[in-house]
């Protein structure tokens, strides 16, 4: 893994904008109970589109 997204679950408001912005399938998922987004880092290519779209700065690429 070279670069991948990390989500701060405390800040995430579950708006799903990142999910609609990700060019790769099955990377980001939405938990309907906690209403938070989580990432499968092994599938992430680290493009950062989700970071650009997140209105709360809850995501970063490391």
Question: Residues interacting with another protein, by CB under 8 A?
Answer: 16, 19-26, 28-30, 32, 37, 43, 45-49, 51-53
CB of residue 9 to another protein, shortest distance in Å = 14
The dihedral over CA atoms of 61, 22, 29, 48, expressed in degrees to the nearest 10, equals: 10
Neighbouring C-alpha atoms within 13 Å toward the C-beta of 43: 11
SS3 60: strand
Q: Please identify, using beta-carbon distances, which residue of 32 and 57 lies nearer to another protein.
A: 32
CB of residue 10 to another protein, shortest distance in Å = 19
CB of residue 20 to another protein, shortest distance in Å = 5
């Amino acid at each position: 893994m070279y670069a991948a997204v990390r989500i701060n679950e405390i800040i995430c408001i579950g708006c799903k904008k990142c999910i609609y912005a990700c060019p790769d399938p099955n990377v980001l998922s939405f938990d309907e109970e906690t209403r938070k987004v989580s990432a499968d880092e092994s599938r992430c290519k680290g493009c950062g589109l989700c970071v650009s779209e997140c209105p709360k700065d809850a995501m970063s690429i490391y």
